[in-house]
Amino acid sequence: MTGTGAGKTPGDPRALAAGRREAHERETRRSRVPSVLLSDGTEVETVVPRPPAPGGTLLGVAAAPGRVRGRARVVLDPSRAHLEPGEILVVPTTDPGWPPLFLTAGALVSETGSAVSHGPTVAREYGIPAVVGIRNTTRRITTGQWITVDGAAGTITLDTAAPPRGPGHANASGSPHAPTGRPCGHAAARVGKIGQAPARRR
């Protein structure tokens, strides 16, 4: 058992407890939760890094279909968060305390998870795109930044162009994520939905 008392006398509970305490303290110092860990605590991405993505693009795991462009909202604590309709929710991870924010989110971007984890499962139920497993997303994306989420390709494009203007820029597909009568800064635009996402529950 690497990091939990390996190499110590098997019958010495104090050595075993000390090894486990050391491993626990080491893990609590992590700034993020790795998507995949080896048995010795090594992060897989540090050993086998992902292939480089095109400039201005973040590559993650495709978790819920759809393609949306909108303003990002980085949220670390759901209990104190406020999300404008259509904003793209950017988070470190999710749990059952997060779904109220999915009601107004245009898409989900998460640092951790897989296609069957909590966030993407709820995203598919609400019919919004999701991309997960992008390291340090909450630091690489800033609140208010325009991004495009492609939930089928598993990519996030950091937009440099000006936001869309004119009528119909927010949600040409008729999705309820974008409000009516608001300036473009408050809404997400569905731009060529990829795949068929389930209808939003009412």
- As annotated, the active-site residues are 118
The rounded distance, in Å, linking the Cα atoms of 79 and 127 is: 23
The rounded distance, in Å, linking the Cα atoms of 3 and 103 is: 42
The rounded distance, in Å, linking the Cα atoms of 141 and 90 is: 8
> Which residue in 113, 79, 71 sits closest to 99, CA to CA?
79
> Which SS3 state, helix, strand or coil, does residue 23 take?
helix
How crowded is residue 39: how many other Cβ atoms within 10 Å of its Cβ?
Answer: 9
CA 168 to chain centre: 27
The rounded distance, in Å, linking the Cα atoms of 31 and 135 is: 11
Q: Report whether 171 contacts 190 (CB < 8 A).
A: yes
Q: Which amino acid is at 160?
A: T
Q: Report whether 53 contacts 170 (CB < 8 A).
A: no
